[in-house]
Structure 1
Amino acid sequence: MSNIERETMEYDVVIVGAGPAGLSAAIRLKQLDADLNIVVLEKGSEVGAHILSGAVLDPCGLDALMPDWKTRGAPIKTKVKKDNFYMLGEAGHLRIPNFPMPPLMNNHGNYIVSMGNVCRWMAEQAEEMGVEIFPGMACSELVYGGTGEVKGVVAGEFGKNPDGTPSEGYEPGMELHGKYVLLSEGVRGSLAKEVIAKYDLCAGREPQKFGLGMKEVWEIDPEKHKEGTVTHTMGWPLGGKAGGGAFIYHAENNQVFIGFVVHLNYKNPNLFPYMEFQQFKHHPMVADLLKGGKRVAYGARAISEGGYQSMPKSAFPGGALLGCSVGLVNVPRIKGNHNAMLSGKAAAEAVIAALKDGRSGDTLEAYEAELRTGAVAKDLKRVRNVKPLWSKFGLSASLALGGFDMWTNTLFGVSLFGTLKHGKADAEATGKAADYPMIDYPKPDGVLSFDRLTNVSFAATNHEESQPSHLRLKDPRVAVDVDYAVYGGPSARYCPAGVYEYVGEAGSDPKFVVNFQNCVHCKTCDIKEASQNITWTVPQGGDGPNYGNM
C-alpha cells in the first residue's frame, strides 16, 4: 500500500487524539498564537466517544490552562464532600482512617466528573478559538521526513477488504503534515508505540506497567445516593491473586460510577479480571448500594501505572508524546487527567518557542525537561515507589511502606528507598498454566453481575465487519501452540469485552477466534499476552465504543 497517492494538507501543528492532553495542547497553542493553523484528529465517532476515566478530577491542570473554566460553563459541578477508604473481606469491611494518609491523598477541592463530557466541552472551547477538530478520523500511519523526523500522519483511510487490499469503495485518506506532530492517543497508542521503538525513547527507563480498569455507571435509589461521596476499596475479591482495587463515586442525578482496577502484572493466567469486578458487586456493602438500581453504561481501558521511572522520553524528532502516551497517572491517587492537561500545556509552550525561533521538525527538548522537572514530575516523584512496593511486598506491607514513603517525600522531598525498579514487563510476569490453580467464579446473576457480552452492549461498540481486523496476530499458530498450550489461553479471560475465544471439540486443537467487533479499545491484549503475539492497531475511523457519560 506504500505506492498509494494521497492528497496532502499542511498545518502548523497536527494533534492526534481529542482527549484532555491533546485538547489542552490545542487550546494553549491558540492562546499563545491565534494565527496558528491547528488540527486535532480523533478516531472516535465524536469527541468523548472513546474517553473513559473514573473520574475524580484534580482541577489544577484546568486552572493552569483556563482559570475561568467555571464561568465558561465547564461540566464540572460535583465537589467531593467525603472520602472513604475500606479494606474488604468477603462478608465485611474495615474503614481505614483518613488522618494517617499524606495530604496528597485528600480529595478536598476535587470534583467527580465525566471526562467524556469534560472533553466535549474542551473541544467546544478549542473550536471557538479556531482549532479544526475532525472526529471519525483514525490515524493509521506516521509520515516521515527526509531526515527521519515525523512530519505527519495518514488519516481517514476507509474501505479495505478483510485481507487488507483496497475494495471498490476504498478511500486512501489524506496525509496531514505539521511542523510538529503531537501524539495524545491515550494508553498504548499504536503510533506512540511505533515512535517509542523507532527512536528508542525507553532507553534507560523502567518498563511501563499497566492496570485494566473496568467501569459501570449505575442509577441508584435516590435515598441511597450521597452526591459528592468518594469511596475506594482494597482487598476482597482480589486478595493475594493480584494487585488492584475498586472505586465508587457518587456523581450527579442519582448516578454512581463504579469501577474496578486489576494490575496487569498478575502471575496466574487463570485470573479473570472481568469476573473479579462482577464478584466485587456482590459484597454486602456494594450490593446494598446497588439494590433496586440499574446499570446504564459499561466500558474498559488500560491504565498506565509505571509512574515517574517508566516515562519514556517524551520528545522525538518532529513531535512529542502527551498524557497517557507517556504514562502520567498518579497511581495511589488514581488520577492522571490533571497531568495530561499539564503535559498538553507544556508541549504547546515548547512548540511556540520553537516556531518563534524558526525551528520545525526537531526534538522539543524543552518539553522533555519540563515534564521531567516541573509540576508533573513533582506530582509523580512523590509516589514513585508505591507501585513497585505493592508489586514486591503485597497489599498489606505496601500500605505501610508506601504511606511512609509518601510522607517522607511530602515532608522532606526524599525517599529512604531511593527510586525502586519495576522489573519485568506485565507480559513477562504471566506464569505457565500448569503452575497455577484454576479459579472458580460464580455465574453472573443478571441483576448485580452480568456476562461480558451483555455488558459490552452497554458500551455501544461497533466495527464495520468487512474491514481487516485491527487486532493483528504476528503468528496465528502461536495463539494455539504457545498461548493456549503453555499459558492456558489467558486472552479468553483478560479481555473485558470477550474478543478472544478458543473453540473446538475436546481432545483436538482448539481454534482461536478473534471477535474484533466486540473490541472496546482497552489495549489489554497488546500489553498482557505472554507471547506478545497480538498487536492492537486502529480500525476505521468512527469505529469502537460510543461512551456517553463516561
Structure 2
Amino acid sequence: MTDREVMEFDVVVVGGGPAGLSAACRIMQRAQAEEKEISVCLVEKGSEVGAHILSGAVVDQIALAELFPDWKEKGAPLTTQVNSDELFWLGSEKNARSLSHWMVPKTLHNDGNYIISLGNLSRWLAEQAEELGVEVFPGFSAAHLSYDSDGNVEGIITGDMGVAENGTEKDGFMPGMLLKAKYTVFAEGCRGHLGKELMSHFELDKDKAPQHYGLGIKELWDVPEAQSKPGAVIHTAGWPLGNEAGGGGFLYHLENNQVVVGLIVDLNYKNPYLSPYDEFQKYKHHPLIAQHLKGAKRVSYGARAIAKGGWASLPKMSFPGGLVIGCDAGTLNPAKIKGTHTAMKSGILAADTIFDALQMETPPAELHQFNDALRNSWLGKELQQARNFVPVMHKLGTFWGGAYNWLDQNIFSGALPFTFNDMTPDYACLELAEKHVAPEYKKPDGLLSFDKLSSVFLSNTNHEEDQPCHLQLKDPNIPVQSNLMKFDEPAQRYCPAGVYEIVESNNESIFQINSQNCIHCKTCDIKDPAQNITWVTPEGAGGPNYPNM
C-alpha cells in the first residue's frame, strides 16, 4: 500500500471551472460574513486555472452578479456586450438566409449578454477565490475517489507523478496525496471521470434519461482591425450537417480584433464515416463565415464535449460525502446553448447547502436538500422550461424540432403539457458502415481549413510521454475485431485530435493510440459504440494549455 501524505480540509473542490470556483468563493464569502473558520481546497488538473477551459462563449451574467455584485468594479473580464445578434439558416454551401428576430426562439436571444473567454473568467474567479482564502492547487489531477469505512466519499487521491508507461516508478516518483474533506464537491466539467464513477457507484442517474452530448470545436482568430466588430454574434443551423447530424455553428467578435468560430455536432449521429472535425473545416468555407476570416490568422484551436441532455438527464446530485455540480452533472441549458450561468448557480447553491450543514452539531453524511434547492431555484425552473428542447430536436430534426421549440418557448414559455424523452444513448445511435456513404471532405487549403496535427499544435497540448496511457481499453481486441468490421472504426474520425489511427503493418490492422495528442474532449469515452474506451486523468498539468479560449 502506497504511503501517502494526508491533508484535511472542511471542503475539497475538484475542478477549476466556473462551477467549482463559484462554490469555493461562495463558501468563503459566507464564512467571512458569519465569522466562521472553514478550510477550502480546490484542485485543478490543468497547468493553471483556465488552461483546460473551453467554451463559445456568450454568457448571461446573472449568476456572476449573485456571486460578486461588484464584478465590474473588481475587473471581471466581461467587456464586450452583445450588440448584434443574428441567426442564419444555411441551406447549402453557398446559401444563407437570415431569420427575423421574431422567428428565433426567445431562449436564443442574447440581449444583455457578454462575449467572453471562459478561460479568462475562470482565471479571474481563481484570483477572487485565493483572496478569500481558498487554497488553489493547479497541476494536480484528482485521480481516484477515497471512501471511508462506511462507504462514504471522504475525499480524493491526486495522481501519482513519475510513473513510467510500464507502471514502474521513475526517478523522482511522487505518490499522490490523499485530500480528505467533510464534503467533496465534484465540478470536473462534462463527462468528468470521477463524476462518471460516482454516477455508477451510487446509481445517481437511475431512472433518468441517458445524458446526451455534443462535441464543440472552436478556433480563435486574429482579424484585421477593419473587419473587427466587437459584440457581433452569429449563430447558424443547417449546412454543413444537414440531415447527417444535429448541431450548429457560431461566430463571435471579441475585443482586441479577435474572432471565435466554432461548430457543435450532436453526438447522436448515425453515420460512422462522419468526421466532426472535417465538418468544421468545411463550415469555415461558407461565404457567410469566410468573409469574417479574410486576411485573418488562426491563433488557437480546441474541442470539448458538451453535456446537453438537460432536465430529463439531470441526475441525483448528492451522495454520502459530497455533491456533483455544473457540467459534471449536466446543468447546461440546451435551449439557450449556455452552461456558464447555470454551472455557477449550481456552485452557489452547493456552497450554501454545505455551509449550512457545517454549522450543524452533527453534519449529515448526505446533503439530500441540495437536490430540492436546485430544482426550486431559478436554475431548476429554467431547465424545467427547456426540458423538451433536446429530445424534440432528436425526434423531429433541426427544422421541425426548431419549429416546435419556437412554439413551446415563445408562445407557451415552456409550459406546453407534453414531456418528451430520448432514452437512446448517443453511442447506440451509430449505425453499421454498410448503411452509409462517406461524406466528401476536401484537402485543407491552409488558409481557412487545416489538418488535425497542425490544429493540435495550436492547442499547446503536451503530456509526459513516458506515463501510463490515460485512454484505457477494456478489451484491446474490440477496435480491430469488432469496431473496424462493423463501423470502419469510427474513433479515427470522431476524435478531433488525431488520437486514434488504424495502421496497416505486414497485412495486419493495428489500432494505434496517440495519447500525446489528446486534448481531453472526452468524445471517445462518449461515442465509442462498444463503450470500450475509458478516459482517465493523465499526470497533472498534462493536456491542452488554452491561452484565451
State TM-score, norm by structure 2: 0.97
How many aligned residue pairs are there?
544
1:272 CA drift (Å): 0.5
SS in 2 for 1:191: helix
Alignment identity in percent? 48
Question: What one-letter code is carried by the residue in structure 2 that aligns with 1:311?
Answer: L
Distance 1:102 1:437 in 2: 34
Q: Measure how far apart 1:32 and its partner are.
A: 0.7
Q: Counterpart in 2 of 1:17? A: 15
Q: Which residue in the other structure is 2:115 paired with? A: 112
Please state how far the C-alpha of 1:407 moved relative to its aligned partner.
2.7
Residues in 2 aligned to 1:291 and 1:360: alpha-carbon distance in whole angstroms: 59
- Cα 1:272/1:102, change in 2 over 3 Å: closer
Q: Offset of 1:224 from its aligned partner?
A: 1.8
Q: Which runs of 5+ in 1 are unaligned?
A: none
| C-alpha distance in 2 between matches for 1:479 and 1:105 | 40
Aligned equivalent of 1:378, options 381, 387, 398: 381
Matched, 1:392 2:390: no
C-alpha contact 2:108 2:337 (8 A) present in aligned 1: no
Q: Which residue of 2 aligns with 1:186?
A: 189
- How far apart are the structure 2 equivalents of 1:483 and 1:491? 9
> In structure 1, what is the Cα distance between the partners aligned to 2:505 and 2:462?
30
**1:97-148 CA deviation, whole Å, 9 max, x = no partner?**
1123343322111100001000100100110111000000001101001111
> What CA distance in whole angstroms lies between the structure 1 residues aligned with 2:376 and 2:411?
19
Matched, 1:367 2:370: yes
User: SS in structure 1 opposite 2:439?
Assistant: coil
Distance 2:203 2:471 in 1: 24
TM-score, normalised by the number of residues in structure 1: 0.97
Q: How does 1:271-290 map to 2 (within 5 A)?
A: 271-290=274-293
Deviations 1:168-214 (A, max 9, x none): 43211110000000000001111100111000000111000000000
Contact 2:144–2:159 (Cα < 8 Å) also in 1: no
- The answer to which of 194-203 and 385-394 deviates more is 385-394
* Alpha-carbon spacing, 1:279–1:232, altered in 2? closer, same or farther (3 Å): same
For 1:79, give the aligned amino acid.
Q
**Aligned partners of 2:107 and 2:335 also within 8 Å:** no
8 A Cα contact 1:76 1:112, kept in partner = yes
Counterpart secondary structure, 1:510: strand
| 1:323 corresponds to which of 311, 323, 326 | 326
> Following TM superposition, by how much is the alpha carbon of 1:361 offset from its aligned partner in structure 2, in angstroms?
6.2
Read off the aligned partner of 2:12 and give its amino acid letter. V
1:503 counterpart residue number: 503
| Distance of 2:64 and 2:39 partners within structure 1 | 23
Match of 2:534 in 1: 535
Q: How big is the shift at 1:409?
A: 4.2
Secondary structure at the aligned position of 1:485 is classed as: helix
Letter in 1 for 2:540: G
> What is the aligned counterpart of 2:44 among 18, 42, 45?
42
The one-letter code sitting in structure 1 at the alignment partner of 2:123 is R
* Displacement of 1:159: 1.1
Equivalent-residue separation in structure 1 for 2:338 and 2:535 (angstroms): 25
Deviates more, 1:350-359 or 1:111-120: 350-359
Which residue matches 1:212?
215
Q: Secondary structure at the match of 1:44?
A: coil
Report 1:265-276 matches (<5 A): 265-276=268-279
User: SS where residue 127 of structure 1 aligns?
Assistant: helix
Q: Report the RMSD for the aligned CA atoms in angstroms.
A: 1.2
SS of the residue aligned with 1:320? Answer: strand
> What does 1:395-410 correspond to in 2, within 5 Å?
395-410=398-413
Tell me, in whole angstroms, the C-alpha distance in 1 between the residues paired with 2:166 and 2:525: 21
Q: In 2, Cα distance between the equivalents of 1:164 and 1:190?
A: 20
List structure 1 runs of 4+ shifted beyond 4 angstroms: none
Displacement after TM superposition at 1:374 (Å): 1.4
SS at the partner of 1:223?
helix
Q: Which amino acid aligns with 2:271?
A: N
1:473 aligned onto 2:476: no
Q: Residue 486 of structure 1: SS of its match in structure 2?
A: helix
Q: Which amino acid aligns with 1:459?
A: S
Greater mean alpha carbon deviation, residues 114-123 or residues 508-517: 508-517
The residue that corresponds to 1:491 in the other structure is: 491
Does the CA-based 8 Å contact 1:318-1:360 persist in structure 2? Answer: no
Cα deviation 1:484-506 (Å, max 9, x = unaligned): 11111100000000000000059
**Corresponding position: 1:237 with 2:240:** yes
- How big is the shift at 1:10? 0.5
